[in-house]
Structures are given as structure tokens and as C-alpha cells.
């Protein structure tokens, strides 16, 4: 029985990655794979490997636990930065661990442990498409923001949140649980910002509520 780990990721706080975990767990049970661990996080897929602790933990885990496969729902879960995602695949391949992408039924390694060149090519193409989709989303958001600003200026409206807006302490604790945990461990603001992608000014606010 193959030993596998599941990788799930979403980029927004309001998105739910449990659906990915459930679907992949059910699939692994169906094909007879043993799920040894689940690595998941809510983080932008455009970040570098060094800024994604779940990827670093996953690589360390598969190297020391004789894992056969890393299972993800789609290639963009690995990341939307083509170069960074390919680095992850290379790390896995170098240690004899195959990446299985469920929605395309792709495996980066053949049964004999050699790199599957066709799968590698398709993964690269899919990653480029995911990267283009991310760029398109950013352009649409920027366009929408520019239109909103132009309308506010044209109509004489004040932009931004109401002056009375204040996020509650409980909201901060729920949204930034990982950051608060790292702060309590005494890790520097700069290092926490590198790990989580959270702005240092936000971390200073969080530090004041500990």
C-alpha cells in the first residue's frame, strides 16, 4: 500500500480548504492509498517556497517518512508561481516522491521511479495557465479599484472604511492565529512577516493585544 500525504491550499481567508481534504481523503481510500498526513494552509500561491511553511514541512516530512506520493486536487494548489511550483516538484522527484494531481490523473514519476516526461510537460503548461489566471484576476481587481476611485472622485465621495470601523480583538485572534502563536514564541516581527506574509505594522498591532 502506497503511503501518501495530502496537500491542500486556498489563497483567501474566507475560502474553505476542508472540501479539498475530504475529496482527496475519499479518493485515497478508494484506490487503497494510506494517508499519513495532511498539509494545508490559507496562503497566496504566488509566494516563494521559503514563505510557505506548509511546503517546507511537507518536504521535510516526505524525506524522513518514506512517503510514496504527494496528492493534490489540482496543480494550482501547489502554487501559481510556475518557477516556485516546479522547484517543489524537483524536490519531490529528487527524493523519489511522486506528485499526483487528481483532476488530471497525472503522476510526475512512473512506477519505476523515473520522471514521467509527459506529465512534467503537462504540469508546466498547467502551471503557466494558473499563473496567467492569477495575472488576469489581479488586472481585473486593479481595474475595478481604479473605476471605484474614479467614481468616488467624480461624485465627491469619501473612500475607505468608515472612521468608526474597528476590528475586534476576537476577530484579530481568529484571523491571525498563526501570527499570534509565533509572536508568543518570541520570533522577530521580520521573520514572522517573511513566514506568513503579514505586514509588520499589522504584527505590531497583534503584539499589543497579546
pLDDT of 59 above 70: yes
| % of the chain surpassing 70 pLDDT | 82
Q: How far apart are CA 115 and CA 82, in angstroms?
A: 18
pLDDT of 50 above 80: no
Average pLDDT over residues 64-78: 89
Which of the residue ranges 65-74, 107-116, 179-188 would you say has the lowest mean pLDDT? 179-188
pLDDT of 102 above 80: yes
pLDDT tens, residue by residue, 152-202: 777 777 666 555 556 677 787 888 888 898 888 888 888 888 788 888 888
pLDDT band of 69, cuts 50, 70, 90: very high
Strands of 98-101's sheet, edge to edge? 34-42, 3-10, 69-72, 98-101, 106-107
Q: Is the distance from CB of 89 to CB of 33 less than 8 angstroms?
A: no
pLDDT band of 27, cuts 50, 70, 90: very high
pLDDT tens, residue by residue, 12-25: 544 567 888 899 99
Q: Is the distance from CB of 92 to CB of 49 less than 8 angstroms?
A: no
pLDDT at position 12 is: 55
pLDDT band of 127, cuts 50, 70, 90: confident
Contacts by residues 161-170 (CB-CB < 8 Å, ≥ 24 positions apart) = 169/209
Amino acid at each position: 500500500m502506497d503511503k501518501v500525504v495530502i496537500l491542500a491550499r486556498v489563497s483567501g481567508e474566507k475560502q474553505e480548504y476542508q472540501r479539498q481534504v475530504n475529496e482527496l481523503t475519499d479518493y485515497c481510500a478508494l484506490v487503497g492509498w494510506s494517508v499519513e498526513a495532511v498539509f494545508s494552509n490559507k496562503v497566496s500561491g504566488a509566494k516563494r517556497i521559503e514563505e510557505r511553511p506548509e511546503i517546507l514541512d511537507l518536504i521535510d516530512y516526505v524525506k524522513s517518512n518514506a512517503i510514496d506520493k504527494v496528492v493534490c486536487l489540482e496543480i494550482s494548489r501547489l502554487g501559481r508561481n510556475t518557477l516556485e511550483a516546479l522547484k517543489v516538484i524537483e524536490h519531490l522527484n529528487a527524493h523519489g516522491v511522486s506528485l499526483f494531481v487528481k483532476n488530471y490523473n497525472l503522476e510526475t514519476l512512473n512506477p519505476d521511479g523515473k520522471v514521467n516526461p509527459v506529465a512534467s510537460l503537462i504540469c508546466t503548461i498547467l502551471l503557466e495557465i494558473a499563473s496567467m489566471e492569477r495575472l488576469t484576476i489581479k488586472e481585473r481587481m486593479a481595474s475595478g479599484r481604479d473605476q471605484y476611485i474614479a467614481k468616488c472622485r467624480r461624485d465627491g465621495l469619501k473612500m475607505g472604511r468608515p472612521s468608526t470601523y474597528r476590528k475586534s480583538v476576537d476577530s484579530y485572534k481568529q484571523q491571525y492565529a498563526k501570527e499570534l502563536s509565533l509572536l508568543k514564541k518570541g520570533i522577530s516581527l521580520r521573520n514572522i512577516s517573511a513566514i506568513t506574509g503579514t505586514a509588520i505594522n499589522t504584527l505590531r498591532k497583534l503584539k499589543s493585544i497579546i
